[in-house]
Structure 1
Amino acid sequence: MSAEPGKRRPPVRAVTGPVLGRALRILEAFGPRHAALTLTDIARRSGLPLSTVHRLAGELIAWGALERDTAGRYTVGLRLWEVAALAPRGQGLRERALPYLEDLSQVTHENVQLAVREGAELVFVERIAGSRAVPVHTRVGGRFALSATGVGLVLLAYAPPELQQEVLGAAIRRFTPHTVTDPQLLARMLADVRANGFAVSDRQVTQDALSVAAPIRDPAGTVIAAVSLVVRYGSFAPQALSPLVRSSARAISRALASA
């Protein structure tokens, strides 16, 4: 399925065999804005011949990876959700974290997000929308660049040095006039995250939102995820939110340690 803004994954044909690679390219044709596709759409977006798409789509439907609606369009099947739910970094983490995410949401009535890093991107594992909170453009399972969001800054700050250099050495996408694209300034921000134990993303993704995030650690002390609050810019000072977010992150870390 298509990546969110940020660095795209390598083409599947570069890392898989011919048949599996073509099947994965069909699945990658789907995305947040392309949830229902015709065979022609899939062929165009995947770059595969229509005859190949027709044959493999039938096999994917038989297995449950795809479904077909009454209009003849194809959608991602529930079988993929069942398999994805077995991923320990997703479902297992979410189950342990969810009570604390719900507590944080109930206390603040703001957006709460949980994310993990995959390569040079982040993946949102859970999101709870506050009843009166600022709108956000994230979704569970969605990907985003590490360099702009609060959770992304945390995950990048604790990423291996070689990955940090990869991100800082590449072109950094600008989302708003406040997005930090200077690699030297971004490197200093990452150092501050490690020193202070939390990150602040000030209108870097949208003009009206500010997020504060903190790291979640496994029993060995390795940062494996990040939790954040996303609020309307000007409604809270970051210093007022950081104790709440850090407390939730520590509680989730303890829950993981006791699993």
Structure 2
Amino acid sequence: MTDGPLPKSVLARGVLLLRACGDAGTALSLAELAVRTGLPKPTAHRLIGELVRLGLVERMADGSYRIGLALFVLGQSSPSVRELRDVALPYLGDLHEATHENVHLAVPDGTDTLFLEKITGRRATPIVSRTGGRLPAHCTATGKVFLAQDPRPPRRTLPRLTPRTLVLPGQLARDLALTRARGYGVNLEEAEIGISAVAAPVYAADRGSRPIAAISVTGGTRRLDVDRIGARLCAAARAITRSLSV
């Protein structure tokens, strides 16, 4: 269920349903949508029906709902997202060829990191991330890249995804200081047991000193050479930054 009072506008309530469908990564029943959004079931039914008619949500044969093709097309039409993906994709491909692990392009999304792109393969370690999915920023390498630019500690209780998740403000602050010093973020089994990641920031010349995106390599902890991959990621991130700034 969403935190805080429910929005009053029809548009905002529709967005709640779209976010619930998108975040789930799988089809949801009407009852599940009502629970996830906090909307009364009749309201959820009426609004989801309208979203289906608009093509933004697809109704499955079993009566469940998932994100529709029209919403995917709208998302892909964003000029900033399209430019970022087009510039980054060749570098993401090179990183995958070099590491044979999962490679991500991510952007900040509130308190989360949102994965715009994921390149994987048969030799890559299976992980939970997916294109269009999100994870809490404090326990991901890409998220730490974004958080490291903000000197203020998070003003909320941080969820613990694994026993190694950094949830104490002092622990996280020290880790973010290290991220700033070395130029890349590291997640050591903080989102998934046995899985670690390294990420480097991507900047745009006309958007100040904060990163607009991050690229990462994620794989099995025992297989990941953090220092070597960190250096490779920083080089690729600088190249993407230069291309975006042209």
Q: Normalising by structure 2, what TM-score?
A: 0.87
Distance 2:87 2:230 in 1: 21
- Aligned AA for 1:228? S
Q: Which residue of 2 aligns with 1:215?
A: 201
Q: Which residue of 1 aligns with 2:186?
A: 200
Residues 6-155 of structure 1 mapped to structure 2, 5 A cutoff:
13-14=6-7, 17-31=8-22, 33=24, 35-155=26-146
Residues 27-85 of structure 1 show CA distances to partners (whole Å, capped at 9, x for unaligned) of 24425547323444444544444443343333222211122233333322111111112
CA gap 1:174/1:46 in 2 versus in 1, 3 angstroms: closer
Q: Which residue of 2 aligns with 1:5?
A: none
Matched residue SS, 2:205 = coil
- Aligned AA for 1:71? D
Distance 2:157 2:67 in 1: 32
Distance 1:253 1:12 in 2: 40
Moved more, 149-158 or 30-39: 30-39
Deviation at 1:215, TM superposition (A): 0.8
CA gap 1:40/1:135 in 2 versus in 1, 3 angstroms: closer
CA gap 1:237/1:27 in 2 versus in 1, 3 angstroms: closer
- Decide whether the 8 Å contact of 1:110 with 1:131 is kept in 2: no
Match of 2:231 among 243, 246, 250: 243
Residues 96-120 of structure 1 show CA distances to partners (whole Å, capped at 9, x for unaligned) of 1011100110111111111111222
Q: Normalising by structure 1, what TM-score?
A: 0.83
Matched residue SS, 1:147 = helix
Distance 1:92 1:212 in 2: 23
Matched residue SS, 2:61 = coil
Moved more, 17-26 or 106-115: 17-26
- Decide whether the 8 Å contact of 1:112 with 1:130 is kept in 2: no
Deviation at 1:11, TM superposition (A): 5.8
Distance 2:162 2:33 in 1: 32
Matched residue SS, 1:229 = strand
Distance 1:76 1:38 in 2: 13
Q: Which residue of 2 aligns with 1:256?
A: 244
Gaps of 5+ in 1: 3-7
Residues 166-185 of structure 1 mapped to structure 2, 5 A cutoff:
167=154, 169-185=155-171
Matched residue SS, 2:163 = coil
- Aligned AA for 1:176? T
Gaps of 5+ in 2: none
Residues 173-217 of structure 1 show CA distances to partners (whole Å, capped at 9, x for unaligned) of 222222222321221221221121112222222221221111111
Residues 202-239 of structure 1 show CA distances to partners (whole Å, capped at 9, x for unaligned) of 22222212211111110145311111111321224311
Moved more, 35-44 or 218-227: 35-44
Distance 2:224 2:15 in 1: 44
Matched residue SS, 1:215 = strand
Q: CA RMSD in A?
A: 2.4
Matched residue SS, 1:153 = helix
- Decide whether the 8 Å contact of 1:12 with 1:21 is kept in 2: no
Distance 1:185 1:34 in 2: 31
- Decide whether the 8 Å contact of 1:123 with 1:143 is kept in 2: yes
Matched residue SS, 1:178 = coil
- Decide whether the 8 Å contact of 2:23 with 2:134 is kept in 1: no
Q: Which residue of 1 aligns with 2:149?
A: 158
Residues 121-158 of structure 1 show CA distances to partners (whole Å, capped at 9, x for unaligned) of 11111111143222211111111111111111111102
Distance 2:229 2:41 in 1: 52
Runs of 4+ with >6 A deviation? none
Distance 1:12 1:85 in 2: 31
